[in-house]
């Protein structure tokens, strides 16, 4: 989102929201807040942030959650879904009716809607399906056909399977343990579902690894993907700069875009999924980055930055994202953006280590390299080495913090 | 101080508190500002607060060239705090001057521009560029950056390097723009660095920057941050901020201080002011309360009214006064004996 757009749109508001209900929904919790100003501004795909722990809390970071639905009752309510991953979400789960929470929203860019009535496939991993149902109603208002493809680790972690079956033209469910629907991951059935539904557009929300593979598969069919990403956020409003990921702009330049402000919905092919968790060497402002004019001149001199280099780098670049990459898709943990408490989130991951480890993506032939042992330093060194290779060995000058080449 | 206290009009608690604060020779309507790096260039916060109503917007540190920052994860929550290792991601001075500064001025906000660089020359160039642009209220020099020419040692950790930066910045900054040096608490003797900066021409001091910290994930057995270490901020560091401000105020009573470090409420702001800060920046708290600056300003005024203080300037550094003088500020009927005042001065 550009800055002028912030000024123009009816922006988010910070309000005191009264808890209406907190319900258990299988493995998750759904909280409904009375927050008319947020409900009135909501578009599917947007999210809210909440301050947790009360006024004297030791937990300083906002918790971000996709908005599941808004309703007109009580002047306007907002519902979101979360899983308990740490003390912050635990505190939220313990709230009761009439408690008052500090809530900000709606934040972020919404799912763009197609102009024409087309076949839409909505894919959700875990409770990443939460924002898809309000999207489905909007799509149906536009006479689009809606198919659902939902997946998770187990049946109790598929959010909204019933709603999907009731409201979608079709609804395919996959679970890794086979306890609901077919055994496997959403990406296993994606080809089939695309063929059956003659899919024109894909909307997806879930773990990064799932979004990456959906984008790769959809590219084969030339189907556009709108992916709602998850990134750890501290503020959700665009000031903290923690939720960045490499995104290619319309000008072809990769920038470290804020998931909260420029996203959370991105065009699938604009995100450099393999480089998430790294600063690609050619990103705007990366160490050694230089203005385009100079790069163009370089390329005229016959120095190529071939695709082979990028492929090679992808392996190294994965390392810092390892924790994320090897979590596996269709998996329960993520989807909404409650990653402020990364430590607890990862603990959840470790408990399932056996499952995830056994079926690591590397073994699934999707070319992912969990590379868990690599440090980012190793990755950075490799990137520099790659760069040196690409530039004909002048990386030494550029390793020194972005002041251009010493030529 | 005691004389101004005695001269202050008594009674009339209903009147509004005079919150004006002096940033060097520049007067601000009130002392509450954003902390650098916690409010971008004000635009995102403007959705939640009127940026012209707080004392000033202190921008995220601007550098000469665009910068992508560090890889993610860039932050980790810690008890009453957080670690960040953003790596100064930003679009560079050109974009700032073209887009962000004019926007701030159009909204009637006062812009305190934080600058960062890897060499003394970079800082000086930035100061020059900002002096040529109209409307910069003050410059805050973020000297907690690695010195490229000195094996990456942070400028703020060495009085000589810190002074070299401030000297160069002051020389290139227009005479009517105050220059504040932002000090790091990660030093053996913050007073020595403060004195060096003031001797080099700093009009005031900002303190404290974040403290270097680290968190290790005991499940992955690796540091949580991609950048390994990060800056610790939040209420966890407030006592350190109070201590640093106290020490520097004690040594350099005439130098204005912008205090920051874990301010979450008006009461916290008052604590820093009592230690010696004339202005207070609000940082990490903004992350869970986007309208924190407006709230803290309101709360600070209430705290002052509750204590019968009608002028903010009267309580700046008041904690340094002997108990009798402090009591005089709070309870106007208390008599301050001449001997007390003489002993103090």
Residue B99: CATH number of its domain: 3.20.20.70
What average pLDDT score do residues A346-373 get?
A: 31
Catalytic positions of B are 145
The runs of H, that is alpha helices, within A301-375 are 307-317, 322-325, 342-351, 353-358
Cα A104 to its chain centre, rounded Å, is: 19
CA nearest B100 in A: which residue? Answer: A3
Structure tokens at A194: 């695309």
> For chain B, how many structural domains are there in total?
2
Report how far apart, in Å, the C-alpha atoms of A37 and of each of A33, A98, A151 are.
Answer: 11, 18, 33
- At B153, is the pLDDT very low, low, confident or very high (cuts 50, 70, 90)? confident
Averaged pLDDT of chain A: 75
Chain B residues touching residue A235 (CB < 8 angstroms)? 286-288, 290
How many Å apart are CA A93 and CA A187, to the nearest integer? 31
Task: Give the tens place of pLDDT for each residue, B252-261.
Answer: 999 999 999 9
Query: Do B279 and B300 belong together in one domain?
Result: yes
A303 pLDDT above the threshold of 80:
no
pLDDT > 90: percent of chain A:
49
Query: Do B9 and B61 belong together in one domain?
Result: no
Q: Which residue has the tokens 């109209």?
A: B134
CB B245 within 8 A of CB B265: no
What is the structure's pLDDT at A354?
A: 30
Query: Do B51 and B62 belong together in one domain?
Result: yes
B157 located within any domain: yes
CA nearest B88 in A: which residue? Answer: A241
Asked if A61 and B75 come within 8 Å (Cβ–Cβ), the reply is yes
Query: Do B275 and B327 belong together in one domain?
Result: no
- At B331, is the pLDDT very low, low, confident or very high (cuts 50, 70, 90)? low
B332 pLDDT above the threshold of 90:
no
Query: Do B78 and B180 belong together in one domain?
Result: yes
| DSSP assignments along A16-56, one per residue | EEEEEEEEEETTEEEEEEE-HHHHHH--TT-EEEE--S-TT
Sign of the Cα torsion B229, B233, B236, B242 reads positive
Query: Do B76 and B124 belong together in one domain?
Result: yes
B3 pLDDT above the threshold of 90:
no
Asked if A283 and B74 come within 8 Å (Cβ–Cβ), the reply is no
A53 pLDDT above the threshold of 50:
yes
CA nearest B90 in A: which residue? Answer: A285
Structure tokens at A145: 């056909």
- At A293, is the pLDDT very low, low, confident or very high (cuts 50, 70, 90)? low
B151–chain A Cβ distance below 8 A for any pair: no
Sign of the Cα torsion A137, A339, B296, B144 reads negative
Between A311 and A34, residue with greater pLDDT: A34
What is the structure's pLDDT at A377?
A: 38
What is the structure's pLDDT at A334?
A: 36
- At A344, is the pLDDT very low, low, confident or very high (cuts 50, 70, 90)? very low
Between A403 and B73, residue with greater pLDDT: B73
Task: Give the tens place of pLDDT for each residue, A103-141.
Answer: 999 999 999 999 999 999 999 998 999 999 999 999 999
What average pLDDT score do residues B28-46 get?
A: 93
Cβ count near B306 (within 10 Å): 11
Chain A residues touching residue B148 (CB < 8 angstroms)? 400-401, 403
What is the structure's pLDDT at B329?
A: 64
B232 located within any domain: yes
What is the structure's pLDDT at B144?
A: 87
Nearest to B219 among A256, A286, A350 (CB): A350
Is A186 strand, coil or helix? helix
Between B283 and A360, residue with greater pLDDT: B283
A329 pLDDT above the threshold of 90:
no
Between B6 and B311, residue with greater pLDDT: B311
Q: Which of A228, A222, A185, A225 is nearest to A202 (CA)?
A: A225
B46 located within any domain: yes
Return the minimum-mean-pLDDT range out of A271-285, A317-331, B139-153: A317-331
B288 located within any domain: yes
B314 located within any domain: no
Report how far apart, in Å, the C-alpha atoms of A223 and of each of A121, A201, A220, B142 are.
Answer: 10, 6, 8, 47
CB B200 within 8 A of CB B163: yes
What is the structure's pLDDT at A195?
A: 87
Domain A12-107 in this protein, CATH class = mainly beta
What is the structure's pLDDT at A295?
A: 54
- At A282, is the pLDDT very low, low, confident or very high (cuts 50, 70, 90)? confident
| Residue environment code for B89-107, b if the CB has 16+ CB neighbours within 10 A, otherwise e | bbbbbeebbebbbebbbeb
What is the structure's pLDDT at B287?
A: 93
How many Å apart are CA B132 and CA B124, to the nearest integer? 12
Query: Do B8 and B152 belong together in one domain?
Result: no
A352 pLDDT above the threshold of 50:
no
A16 pLDDT above the threshold of 90:
yes
What is the structure's pLDDT at B152?
A: 78
What is the structure's pLDDT at A263?
A: 86
Per the structure, the complete domain to which residue B1 belongs is given by: 1-16+319-345
- At B328, is the pLDDT very low, low, confident or very high (cuts 50, 70, 90)? low
Query: Do B245 and B146 belong together in one domain?
Result: yes
What is the structure's pLDDT at A227?
A: 95
Asked if B289 and A243 come within 8 Å (Cβ–Cβ), the reply is no
What is the structure's pLDDT at A212?
A: 92
Cβ count near B243 (within 10 Å): 15
Averaged pLDDT of chain B: 89
Task: Give the tens place of pLDDT for each residue, A170-210.
Answer: 999 999 998 888 888 888 888 889 988 889 999 999 999 99
B297 located within any domain: yes
Query: Beta strand B153-154 with B146-147: parallel, antiparallel or unpaired?
Result: antiparallel
Nearest to A241 among B77, B89, B226 (CB): B89
Return the minimum-mean-pLDDT range out of A156-160, B5-9, B90-94, B311-315: B5-9
Query: Do B184 and B331 belong together in one domain?
Result: no
Query: How many Cα atoms within 13 Å fall on the side-chain side of residue B136?
Result: 27
Query: Do B7 and B28 belong together in one domain?
Result: no
Return the minimum-mean-pLDDT range out of A358-372, B56-70, B163-177: A358-372
Cβ count near A82 (within 10 Å): 26
DSSP E strand boundaries for A278-399: none
- At B12, is the pLDDT very low, low, confident or very high (cuts 50, 70, 90)? very low
Asked if B217 and A342 come within 8 Å (Cβ–Cβ), the reply is yes
Burial level of B83, CB count in 10 A (0-12/13-18/19+)? buried
What is the structure's pLDDT at A56?
A: 87
Asked if B82 and A104 come within 8 Å (Cβ–Cβ), the reply is no
All residues at 6 or more sequence positions from A27 whose CB lies less than 8 Å from its CB, including other chains: A83, A154, A156, A157, A332
pTM over 0.80: no
Query: Do B293 and B327 belong together in one domain?
Result: no
How many Å apart are CA B2 and CA B18, to the nearest integer? 18
What is the structure's pLDDT at A376?
A: 38
What is the structure's pLDDT at B187?
A: 93
What average pLDDT score do residues B335-339 get?
A: 47
Query: Do B337 and B228 belong together in one domain?
Result: no
């Amino acid at each position: 989102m550009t800055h002028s757009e912030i000024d123009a749109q009816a922006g988010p508001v910070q309000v005191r929201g009264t808890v209406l209900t907190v319900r258990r929904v299988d493995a998750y919790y759904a909280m409904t807040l009375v927050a008319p100003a947020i409900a009135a501004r909501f578009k599917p795909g947007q999210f809210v942030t909440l301050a947790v722990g009360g006024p004297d809390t030791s937990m300083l970071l906002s918790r971000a959650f996709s908005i599941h639905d808004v309703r007109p009752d009580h002047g306007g309510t907002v519902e979101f879904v979360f899983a308990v991953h740490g003390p912050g979400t635990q505190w939220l789960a313990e709230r009761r009716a009439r408690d008052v929470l500090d809530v900000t929203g709606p934040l972020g860019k919404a799912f763009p809607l197609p102009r024409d009535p087309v076949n839409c496939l909505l894919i959700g991993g875990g409770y990443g399906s939460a924002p898809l149902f309000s999207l489905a109603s909007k799509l149906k208002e536009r006479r689009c056909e809606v198919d659902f493809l939902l997946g998770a680790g187990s049946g109790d972690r598929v959010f909204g399977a019933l709603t999907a079956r009731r409201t979608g033209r079709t609804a395919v469910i996959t679970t890794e343990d086979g306890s609901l629907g077919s055994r496997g991951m959403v990406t296993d059935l994606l080809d089939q579902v695309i063929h059956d539904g003659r899919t024109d557009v894909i909307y997806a929300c879930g773990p990064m690894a799932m979004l990456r593979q959906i984008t790769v598969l959809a590219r084969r069919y030339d189907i556009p993907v709108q992916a709602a990403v998850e990134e750890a956020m501290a503020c959700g409003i665009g000031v903290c700069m923690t939720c960045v990921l490499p995104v290619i702009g319309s000008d072809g330049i990769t920038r470290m875009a804020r998931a909260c402000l420029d996203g959370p919905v991105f065009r699938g092919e604009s995100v450099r999924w393999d480089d998430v968790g790294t600063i690609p060497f050619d990103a705007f402002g990366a160490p050694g980055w230089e203005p385009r004019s100079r790069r163009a001149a370089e390329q005229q001199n016959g120095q190529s930055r071939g695709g082979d280099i990028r492929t090679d780098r992808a392996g190294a670049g994965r390392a810092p994202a390892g924790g994320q990459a090897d979590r596996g898709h269709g998996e329960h943990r993520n989807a909404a953006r409650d990653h402020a408490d990364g430590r607890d989130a990862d603990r959840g991951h470790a408990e399932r280590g056996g499952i995830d480890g056994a079926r690591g993506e590397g073994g699934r032939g999707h070319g992912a390299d969990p590379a868990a042992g690599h440090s980012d330093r190793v990755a950075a060194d490799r990137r520099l080495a790659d760069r040196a290779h690409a530039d004909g060995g002048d990386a030494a000058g550029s390793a020194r913090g972005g002041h251009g080449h010493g030529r | 101080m005691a004389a101004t206290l005695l001269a202050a009009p008594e009674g009339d608690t209903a009147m509004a508190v005079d919150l004006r604060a002096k940033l060097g020779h520049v007067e601000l309507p009130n002392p509450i500002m954003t902390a650098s790096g916690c409010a971008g260039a004000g635009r995102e916060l403007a959705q939640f607060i009127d940026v012209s109503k707080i004392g000033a917007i202190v921008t995220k540190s601007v550098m000469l060239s665009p910068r992508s920052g560090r890889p993610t994860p860039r932050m980790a929550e810690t008890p009453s705090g957080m670690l960040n290792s953003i790596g100064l991601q930003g679009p560079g001075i050109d974009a700032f001057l073209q887009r962000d500064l004019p926007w701030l001025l159009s909204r009637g906000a006062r812009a305190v521009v934080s600058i960062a660089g890897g060499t003394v020359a970079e800082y000086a160039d930035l100061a020059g560029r900002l002096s040529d642009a109209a409307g910069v209220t003050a410059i805050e020099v973020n000297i907690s950056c690695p010195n490229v020419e000195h094996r990456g040692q942070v400028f703020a950790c060495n009085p000589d390097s810190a002074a070299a930066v401030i000297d160069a910045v002051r020389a290139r900054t227009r005479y009517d723009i105050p220059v504040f040096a932002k000090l790091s608490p990660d030093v053996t003797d913050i007073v020595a660095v403060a004195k060096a900066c003031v001797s080099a021409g700093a009009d005031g001091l900002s303190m404290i920057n974040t403290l270097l910290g680290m968190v290790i994930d005991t499940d992955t057995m690796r540091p949580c941050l991609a950048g390994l270490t990060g800056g610790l901020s939040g209420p966890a560091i407030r006592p350190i901020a109070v201590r640093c401000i106290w020490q520097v105020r004690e040594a350099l009573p005439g130098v204005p201080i912008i205090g920051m470090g874990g301010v979450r409420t008006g009461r916290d702001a008052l604590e820093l002011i009592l230690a010696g800060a004339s202005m207070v920046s609000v940082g990490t708290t903004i992350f869970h309360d986007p309208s924190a600056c407006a709230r803290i300003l309101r709360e600070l005024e209430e705290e002052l009214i509750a204590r019968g203080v009608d002028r903010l300037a009267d309580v700046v550094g008041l904690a340094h006064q002997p108990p009798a003088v402090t009591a005089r500020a709070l309870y106007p009927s208390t008599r301050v004996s001449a001997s007390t005042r003489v002993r103090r001065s």
